[in-house]
Structure 1
Amino acid sequence: MMLESVKRKVQLTGKATFIVSLPKSWATNMSLKPGDEVIFIPQPDGSLKLTVSAIETVSSKALIEVDEKYTPDDVCREFISYYLAGCNNIEVYFKPGMYEHKRILKEIIDRKMIGVEIIEESEAHVVAQCLVRYAELPVGRVLQRMGSIVSFMLLDAVKALHTRDGKLASEIVERDDEVDRFYLFTVRQLMAAVKNPLLLSDIGISTPSECLAYHVIAKSIERMADHASRIANVVAFLPGSLPEGFVENIEETVNDAVEILGSTLRALARKRKGTAIKNIRIAKEITEKVRDIMEIVFKDRGRAVEATYMALIVESIERVIEYISDIAENVVNILIGES
């Protein structure tokens, strides 16, 4: 129902209380009655947003009915979409014999989602419930955790490159699932906060406009984890020895990248805009070093096979630096918006 703007005079009751009457048409449309509570939310521009209560912005329940038209990926994709939309209770029913669909869905729930537990299950259905509250894992804390995981993934990928440790490389790839779990939970938080600004303080964000920047930061860290996994996967295929200085240059570059990633996320937590701006410049300088490493890759034309895999490693590191620069830029945007 669209309502036109309405003017009201501010009145004084008692000695210090200002009162403003609500438009009757709006109150009726919202089913308000005497004794109900309304909530005023101060906005950055000085205005006030009025809502009737901190009700859920989407249904807390969802139902998925899986038939033969669904692939396992379809089931997982729809389940994740309901999870991101804020549903706390998701029921999935399968046609008889769709055991593989159910098995894959359970694996995805276990590997990719924080706080989601299967609370009921039979041959033909599962019921999953999200048990984690938003305030228990504020966005800032989640980003710090994601950044820590990715940093060690990158450092260990270099270690695996040094030692050709296949087991370490495989373990690095497994850690990518942990980053995905935190990323999906962050998106769920941000979507909920956009729909219901009352949740902003619970997740540690000041204004709805910051949600986009926080999403870019989370997505950038998630992509960095993908590239750390890519480097680890390449380790198993590297034949023979590598050109002198290649691994050492890679190690130095990754160490620099990990340092400015941590510095940038600390700048966000401590509201140090100047540090984030400086890190954008440093990221560009590191990118130039990465391009110098690429020259080492193609210097020896007799190493065609090795060059292919080394190029993949260098390319991934270059992308990691670009993502760190994106993170720093969005930290600057957030901090300027808060000032």
Structure 2
Amino acid sequence: QDDALIRVSSVDKPDAVTRKTVAAYLVGYNILHIKAQGQQQLSSKLRNHLKSFARHFLVGTEIVTDTPADLVLQVLLNYPELSVQSALRRMSIITSSMHKDAVIAFKKLDHSAAKAVIETDNEVDRFNLYIIRLLKLAVSNPRVLKEIGLTSAKHCLGYRLVTKSVERTADHATKIAENILVLKEKTSDELVEKIEKMSNLAISMFEDSMNSLFKGDFNLAESVIEKIAQIVKLEKEAVLSSQNVGAEEIASLSLLIESVRRTAEYASDIAEIVLNLNVESVIK
């Protein structure tokens, strides 16, 4: 699909226009033409909002026209230049780094490092939108399916679910960072050690689950799922260690611990998808 025309009235809010633009991007339009209705003009506020959004979130998109009457965005990136696997690999590496950086920020009670983690979430969102766009195109177009490096519609669905889990994992890294910003003083060494131990296992599960996807490794995926019981045990230990914390901070620490657990659970979800995609390797 080539050209999408998005008509904007004077009452349309920037977020509403952004949602329409994203929807057109996701279903595969290469030219996004945002035009004011009738004799009206696009406000500079709206144009700046859309341009900023495109630069930060729409991979491969350039601004080719920018006037008060219309704004035109064009997707210039060809599919083979950045395959689904490559984009997802980069997305998962950023997510893993976000989690690790958030836990280091927790150990040091480094608020500036925590804020940096929160800002990095935009990078994950960029790749998330790009991958969804590719997968939507591939489901209906066998040529695109081949170009982006997948073999079947089943793989498109699997990769879509994995992408969602990676994006949620990044969201929980952000939540860890947000809860650090609430803390006013360093936590006890005992609690830090227990949360760090839990985090190390959770993020190794996440990295193993992604490696199992890229390698098609059924056994590695199965080993990830089997580690959930260890996470539950470590979570109980961390919660017990947090009982002596002041009332103001216990809520933030509980949410932080929960986000580490959710990281492990999303890793397990990814591993289950890998099992489904590669079951033929163990039943033949």
Identify unmatched segments of 5+ residues in structure 2: none
Partners of 1:270 and 1:96 in 2: CA distance: 52
- 1:90 matches 2:35: no
User: Which residue of structure 1 lines up, in the alignment, with residue 248 of structure 2?
Assistant: 305
- Of 141, 148, 152, which residue of structure 2 is paired with 1:207? 152
Residue deviations 1:242-282 (CA, integer Å, cap 9, x gap):
23411111112222222222222222222211110111111
- CA distance in structure 1 between the partners assigned to 2:232 and 2:17 by the alignment: 40
**CA deviation after TM superposition for structure 1 residue 325, in Å:** 0.7
Deviation at 1:304, TM superposition (A): 0.5
Alpha-carbon shift at residue 306 of structure 1 (Å): 1.1
Q: How far has the Cα of 1:129 moved from its partner?
A: 0.6
- 1:129 maps to a residue whose letter is Q
Q: CA RMSD in A?
A: 1.6
1:72 aligns with 2:17: no
Q: How does 1:1-339 map to 2 (within 5 A)?
A: 59-94=1-36, 95-96=40-41, 98-297=43-242, 299-300=243-244, 303-336=246-279
1:285 deviation in Å?
2.2
Q: Is the 8 A contact 2:222 2:271 kept in 1?
A: yes
Q: 1: distance between equivalents of 2:194 and 2:59?
A: 37
Q: Percent of aligned positions with the same letter in both sequences? A: 33
Tell which has more relative contact order, 1 or 2 (C-alpha 8 A, sep 6+): 2
Q: Assess if the C-alpha contact under 8 Å between 1:287 and 1:321 holds in 2.
A: no
Distance in 2 (alpha carbons) for counterparts of 1:334 and 1:287: 27
SS in 1 for 2:198: helix
* Letter matched to residue 310 of structure 1: L
Contact 2:205 2:268 in 1 (8 A): no
Assess, with a 3 A threshold, how the Cα gap between structure 1 residues 284 and 113 changes in structure 2: closer, same or farther: farther
Moved more, 67-76 or 176-185: 67-76
Q: Distance in 1 between matches of 2:66 and 2:48?
A: 12
TM-score, structure 2 normalization: 0.93
Contact 1:242 1:306 in 2 (8 A): no
Give the direction of change, closer, same or farther, for the CA distance of 1:62–1:337 in structure 2 (3 Å limit). farther
Number of residues paired by the alignment?
279
Secondary structure at 2:183 match in 1: coil
Cα distance 1:68–1:287, how it changes in 2: closer, same or farther (>3 A)?
farther
- Distance verdict in 2 for CA 1:138–1:120, change over 3 Å: same
Is the 8 Å Cα contact of residues 283 and 324 (structure 1) preserved in structure 2?
Answer: no
Is this contact kept in 2: 1:63–1:90, CA < 8 A? yes
Deviations 1:186-245 (A, max 9, x none): 100110011112222211211112211111100110111111111112222102342341
SS in 1 for 2:235: helix
Q: CA deviation at 1:337?
A: 5.6
Amino acid at match of 1:86: G
Secondary structure at the aligned position of 1:141 is classed as helix
Contact in 1 for aligned 2:205/2:264 (Cα 8 Å): no
Structure 1 contact 118–126 (Cα < 8 Å) conserved: yes
**What is the CA-CA distance between 1:143 and the residue it aligns to?**
1.6
Q: Once the 2 structures are TM-superposed, how far is the Cα of residue 96 of structure 1 from its aligned partner?
A: 2.6
The whole-number CA distance in structure 2 between the counterparts of 1:73 and 1:272 is 42
